[in-house]
Amino acid sequence: MSLFGLGNRNQKTFRPKKSAPSTDKGAQLKRHIDATLGSGNLRDAVRLPPGEDLNEWLAVNTVDFFNQINLLYGTLTEFCTPATCPTMTAGPKFEYRWADGVQIKKPIEVSAPKYVEFLMDWIASQLDDESIFPQKLGVPFPPNFPDIVRTMLKRLFRVYAHIYHSHFQKIVSLKEEAHLNTCFKHFILFTWEFRLIDKAELAPLHDLIESILLSY
């Protein structure tokens, strides 16, 4: 099944693609990302373009990472089920429980697909909230915007960790490992560039991340 084909995805898990902030600046930065990624130079793709606003850069890239991971996980929904993945894990040493601090204040144990469903809905609601991700030029980002992004990306990393630990052989059989590895490398280089994920959180994929950073 092609990574970009619709296949038999669980439509509740697979969400419509989000657009970057619709300001002229957001569209310009999205074009910059696409151009630098297209050149194959991930080093340039993650750096803040000269003279650009950091929050704008974080916003456009966060939307991009949400879309990439949403699409990647969408190829696995028939294989990542409550029966195959009754808990959200990244190998035997790491288990993730869900809490959003609002509706679910105390972390609860859920299956991997339920965790991803909660996570994607939680992020999508924030991407749609113009008080967090402003759509109009000149509207400021909230003062704690970098912290909001940090929490989003920390949790999106967990989806990558689960895919690598629990579903990598299926990704290989679908012949999509090169795409997965490229998306993950871009994600790690960006979060490392701006110190967005604590090193301890990256432990489930420590060796893979070390190899990425050594080549950076």
**In the chain, what are the domain boundaries?**
24-214
- Residue 13's pLDDT is 45
Report which of 123, 185, 121 is spatially closest to residue 154, judged by C-alpha positions. 123
89 within 8 A of 165, measured Cβ to Cβ? yes
**pLDDT tens digits, residue range 142-188?**
999 999 999 999 999 999 999 999 999 999 999 999 999 999 999 99
The CATH topology of domain 24-214 is Butyryl-CoA Dehydrogenase, subunit A; domain 3 (1.20.140)
189 within 8 A of 212, measured Cβ to Cβ? yes
**pLDDT tens digits, residue range 84-131?**
999 999 999 999 999 998 899 999 999 999 999 999 999 999 999 999
3-state secondary structure of 43: helix
* Beta bridge mates, 88: 96
Report which of 68, 61, 55, 113 is spatially closest to residue 86, judged by C-alpha positions. 113
Q: How confident is the model at residue 43 (pLDDT cuts 50, 70, 90)?
A: confident
69 within 8 A of 76, measured Cβ to Cβ? no
Strand ranges (E), 29-100? 88-89, 95-96
Q: How confident is the model at residue 2 (pLDDT cuts 50, 70, 90)?
A: very low
**pLDDT tens digits, residue range 192-201?**
999 999 999 9
Q: How confident is the model at residue 11 (pLDDT cuts 50, 70, 90)?
A: very low
Task: State pTM to two decimals.
Answer: 0.86
**Low-confidence winner among 38-47, 121-130, 204-213 (lowest mean pLDDT):** 38-47
Structure tokens, 109: 């144990």
Which residues have CB under 8 Å from 191's CB, separation 6+?
A: 153, 157, 197
